[in-house]
Structure 1
Amino acid sequence: MSRGDAHAAVRRRVCLSAAVAWLALEALPARSATTQDATWPEEPDPAPGRGTPADQAPIDWPEIGLLDGRRRAPQSWAGAPVLVVFWATWCPYCLRHNQRVERLFREVDPARLQVLGVAVDRDERRVRDHLRQQGLTFPNTVDDGGLRARFTERRVLPMTCLVNAQGRVSLRIPGEMSADDVRALAARALAG
């Protein structure tokens, strides 16, 4: 066997081994660490000094300046559940997650379920540009860190929090959610 034939045989074996490994991985059941199914546990935030979500006092909403120029008074969040999503312009998981949240925002009556995006970026102009480029129209604000601290001490992005109609955080869901999971979360919120 010539040297060229030996190199070709080695390349074929390496390619064949890689293909077999890829096929083996594809055969495994799909499981994503960034998505969860619709049966989320009622899990307390691991932050010390906080009880389970149901035991917490209602969120102390500050006045929030939205990126479209409107201001939301604390009492304007009362009476309907609120889906709050903490995200960043540089986060690829947030990009996909926010597209799913946008679809939900367009489908659900805001009198029944409110949506608020909270960008953790510091540059408001960059966030506005990002929202425009991605076609995201749900209400958004830029956080100085104070808003996230009212909901969670976890630093996972995206972080989705569901505030029930009584103003308490009923769920905290770290990571990207599938479209089905976002719809299931909305159904859960609307069911009370």
Structure 2
Amino acid sequence: MKLLRGVCLLGALLLAAVGSVFAGDATPFYATTVDGLDGKPLVLEQYRGKAVIVNFWARWCPPCRKEIPELIQLQNEYGKRGLVVLGLAIEEDAAAVKEFAKAYEINYTVGVDKKKGLWLMQSLGNGVSGLPFTLIIGKDGQIVQRKIGQFTRKDFDAVADTLLK
């Protein structure tokens, strides 16, 4: 657990070195299937053609917990305009994540898969596997923004106009 918390902190510290904006192809995202909280496969291909905020997180990560209310608010405000917020828990215990999501009143889709989630983060530019890690993917399948560390409303606002047109 201490090692995982260290990775979370390391990811936040490396933010300045890595930067928050990155253009790139989200093909690995669309090719992945993880477990849904309902126990059924969550096929990420279903998000192709949509504006998506993909947030990689874990229950034990303090910055991850802090950004959840922002993500809930973004889903509330922009869901009707086509924005999808998707949380991918880097965890093994789907039942514990489901209980956590209920307690935090998470209103967006959450998938769970530690092994695939770590692979996917690395494939999409997070070589240190730091948490939290957030991607914004445009309708064209291109990564508009990536951030290692706590995601904020300010991060979203920087790309909202382009993302939602």
TM-score, normalization: structure 2? 0.73
Q: Is the 8 A contact 1:58 1:166 kept in 2?
A: no
How do 1:128-167 and structure 2 match up within 5 A?
128-150=98-120, 151=124, 152-167=126-141
RMSD of aligned residue pairs (Cα, Å): 2.8
Cα separation, 2, equivalents of 1:61 and 1:82: 15
Question: Distance between the aligned counterparts of 1:110 and 1:64, measured in 2?
Answer: 25
Is the CA contact 1:34–1:176 (under 8 Å) kept in the aligned structure 2? no
1:35 offset after TM fit, Å? Answer: 8.6
- Displacement of 1:153 in angstroms is 2.8
SS at match of 2:27: coil
Aligned to 1:12: none
Unaligned runs of 5+ in 2: 1-11
Whole-Å separation in 1 of the counterparts to 2:61 and 2:146:
18
Per the alignment, residue 179 of structure 1 pairs with 153
The share of aligned pairs that are identical, in percent, is 24
1:60-71 correspondence to structure 2 within 5 Å:
60-69=30-39, 71=41
Aligned pair partner of 2:27 in 58, 72, 84:
58
Tell me how far apart the structure 2 counterparts of residues 34 and 106 of structure 1 sit (CA, whole Å): 30
Q: Which amino acid aligns with 1:138?
A: Y
| Structure 1: gaps of 5 or more residues | 1-31, 44-52
Distance 1:78 1:139, change over 3 A: same
Q: Secondary structure at the match of 2:147?
A: strand
Q: How does 1:1-192 map to 2 (within 5 A)?
A: 42-43=21-22, 53-54=23-24, 56=25, 58-59=27-28, 60-69=30-39, 71-109=41-79, 112-150=82-120, 151=124, 152-191=126-165
Q: Which amino acid aligns with 2:128?
A: R
Shift of the alpha carbon at 1:135?
1.0
Q: CA deviation at 1:180?
A: 3.1
> How far is the alpha carbon of 1:81 from its aligned partner?
1.6
Q: Deviations over 1:117-157 (max 9, x none)?
A: 01112111111111111111210011232234232333221
TM normalised by structure 1 equals 0.64
Q: 1:135 to 1:155 in 2, by over 3 A?
A: same
Which structure ranks higher in relative contact order (CA pairs < 8 Å, sequence separation ≥ 6)? Answer: 2
Change (3 A) 1:73 1:92: closer
Decide which moves more: 170-179 or 124-133. Answer: 170-179
The 1:73–1:33 alpha-carbon spacing in structure 2 relative to 1, beyond 3 Å, is closer
Is the Cα contact below 8 Å between 2:33 and 2:44 reproduced in 1? yes
CA 1:110–1:76 in structure 2 vs 1: closer, same or farther (change >3 Å)? farther
Question: Residue 109 of structure 1 aligns to a residue in which SS?
Answer: helix
Kept after mapping to 2: 8 A contact 1:78/1:165: yes
Where does residue 3 of structure 2 map in the other structure?
Answer: none
The number of equivalent residue pairs is 147
Give 1 or 2: higher strand fraction: 2
